[in-house]
Amino acid sequence: MTQTTENTAPRPFPEDWGRALAVVAHPDDLEFGASSAIARWTAQGKKVTELLVTRGEAGIDGISPEDCAPLRMEEQRASAAAVGVDEVEFLDFPDGLLEYGVPLRHALAGAIRRHRPEVVVSINFRESFPGGAGGFNHADHRVLGPALLDAVRDAANRWVFPEQVADGLQPWPGVRLVAFAASPLAGHYVELSEDDLAAGVASLDAHRVYLENLEGFDQKSFLPRAAAQAGEWAGVPLATGFEVFEV
Report which DSSP code applies to 192: -
pTM of the model: 0.95
Distance CA 221, CA 88 (A): 27
Q: Which CATH class is domain 16-246?
A: alpha beta
Per residue in 142-162, pLDDT tens?
Answer: 999 999 999 999 999 999 999
Please report the pLDDT score of residue 4 as a whole number.
61
Distance CA 179, CA 47 (A): 16
Please report the pLDDT score of residue 33 as a whole number.
81
Distance CA 237, CA 160 (A): 44
Positions in the chain whose pLDDT score sits under 70 = 3-7, 132
Per residue in 43-83, pLDDT tens?
Answer: 999 999 999 999 999 999 999 999 999 999 999 999 999 99
Distance CA 86, CA 88 (A): 7
Distances (CA, A) of 33 to 109, 146, 190, 196, 224: 25, 20, 11, 11, 10
Percent of the chain clearing pLDDT 70 (strictly above): 97
